[in-house]
């Protein structure tokens, strides 16, 4: 099939039909291109339409008979394609370029990478295999060489995201976190956060089994707070429906876990982290899931400094943010205490 869509691309429909795989395959067949970006531009679809439920771009192309599925799917292909939705939040060129490099035909070996790129490679690894599955990172990344459909789809996703309006400005972490490839005001999912901090590791903690909203990272002497702003009754019991919200662009109100008292070890660490030379990183997301039913990623707000607190079990702490919230984040956040 040719990738030239100049004569076969349909005009953008006024009202898009429900994005079932059958409808998407019919639209793909009319567009006639193997390229995800061509399809989205021609149809006016949003990329999230592709990844509702278990649908993937590869599945759509195969349903449209634009590519022929192998008689026997490669071991692991189906599971990897189901993970493609977990890359839709990538919003910075460095991460996208790194992920594309590690999945290229001539990808460098894991052991040839420097420490920074090895961390990025582990972020990719755990985003694909969030419950492990290999004895080494090198073995996992090497296994991708045979997964042509997976690599093609992932590269097309990243290429589209980097040419759309989904990229955002950010600032690398500095100071004690300068070695961690996370960028302030960029979005990350749980697998990437745990891998970047070095908490997720083969033979240890797997991201797919981690469900806490707080994490003490001993190696980096850092408390990572993974905060969900809108806590629905379906997903959060009343005992953990903490009141977390922005007070201003530079101050954030956060409630600790119910067991945390001011005089507890954790409570004391929160209050005295500056003098004890430990750190706090705040990550936020609007809700647990996106509109497509997938897990919503967190945006890194960056470091915070303890300012004050009230109450006990939970402690209501005000954090002073080191970096003011940009307009795109501030405009979507409640700036005062939600109604009871």
- At 176-202, the pLDDT tens digits run 999 999 999 999 999 999 999 999 999
Q: Is the pLDDT of residue 339 over 50?
A: no
CA distances to 105, 172, 298, 322 from 194, rounded to whole Å, are 27, 17, 12, 22
Reported as a single tens digit per residue, the pLDDT across 95-132 is 999 999 999 999 999 999 999 999 999 999 999 999 99
Where does 88-144 have alpha helices with state H? 93-102, 115-128, 137-143
What pTM did the predictor assign?
0.90
Name the band, by pLDDT with cuts 50, 70 and 90, for residue 18. confident
* Structure confidence by residue, pLDDT tens digits, 30-87: 999 999 999 999 999 999 999 988 899 999 999 999 988 776 778 999 999 999 999 9
Map out the domains of the chain as residue ranges: 1-69, 77-182, 212-330
The pLDDT value recorded for residue 233 is 53
The alpha carbon torsion through 225, 314, 316, 331 (nearest 10 deg) reads 50
Per-residue pLDDT band at 230 (split at 50, 70, 90):
confident
Query: Is the confidence at residue 330, as pLDDT, over 80?
Result: yes
Mean pLDDT over all residues of the chain?
90
Q: Which structure tokens are listed for 277? A: 């030379």
The C-alpha atoms of residue 21 and residue 234 are separated, in whole angstroms, by 28
pLDDT tens-digit series, residues 246-255: 999 999 999 9
Distance between CA atoms of 116 and 113, rounded to whole angstroms? 8
Domain 212-330 CATH assignment equals 2.30.280:
yes
């Amino acid at each position: 099939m040719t990738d030239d869509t100049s004569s076969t691309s349909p005009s953008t429909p006024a009202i898009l039909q429900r994005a079932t795989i059958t409808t998407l395959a019919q639209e793909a067949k009319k567009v006639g291109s193997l390229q995800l970006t061509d399809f989205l531009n021609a149809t006016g679809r949003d990329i999230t339409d592709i990844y509702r439920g278990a649908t993937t771009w590869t599945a759509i192309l195969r349903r449209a008979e634009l590519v022929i599925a192998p008689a026997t799917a490669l071991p692991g292909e189906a599971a990897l394609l189901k993970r493609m939705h977990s890359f839709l939040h990538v919003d910075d060129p460095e991460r996208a370029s790194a992920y594309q490099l590690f999945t290229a035909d001539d990808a460098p070996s894991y052991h040839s990478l420097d420490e920074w790129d090895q961390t990025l490679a582990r972020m990719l690894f755990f985003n694909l295999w969030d419950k492990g599955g290999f004895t080494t990172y090198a073995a996992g990344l090497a296994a991708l060489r045979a997964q042509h459909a997976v690599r093609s789809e992932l590269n097309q996703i990243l290429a589209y995201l980097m040419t759309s309006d989904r990229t955002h400005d950010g600032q690398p972490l500095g100071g004690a976190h300068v070695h961690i490839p996370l960028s302030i005001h960029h979005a990350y999912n749980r697998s990437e956060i745990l891998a970047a901090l070095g908490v997720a590791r083969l033979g240890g903690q797997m991201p797919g089994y981690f469900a806490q909203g707080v994490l003490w990272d001993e190696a980096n002497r850092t408390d990572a707070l993974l905060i969900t702003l809108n806590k629905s009754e379906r997903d959060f019991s009343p005992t953990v429906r903490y009141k977390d919200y922005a007070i201003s662009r530079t101050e954030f109100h956060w409630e600790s876990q119910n067991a945390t008292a001011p005089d507890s070890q954790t409570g004391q660490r929160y209050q005295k982290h500056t003098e004890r030379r430990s750190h706090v990183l705040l990550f936020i997301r609007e809700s647990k899931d996106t509109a497509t039913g997938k897990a919503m990623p967190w945006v890194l707000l960056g470091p915070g400094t303890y300012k004050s607190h009230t109450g006990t079990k939970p402690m209501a702490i005000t954090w002073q943010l080191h970096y003011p919230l940009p307009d795109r984040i501030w405009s979507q956040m409640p700036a005062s205490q939600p109604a009871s």
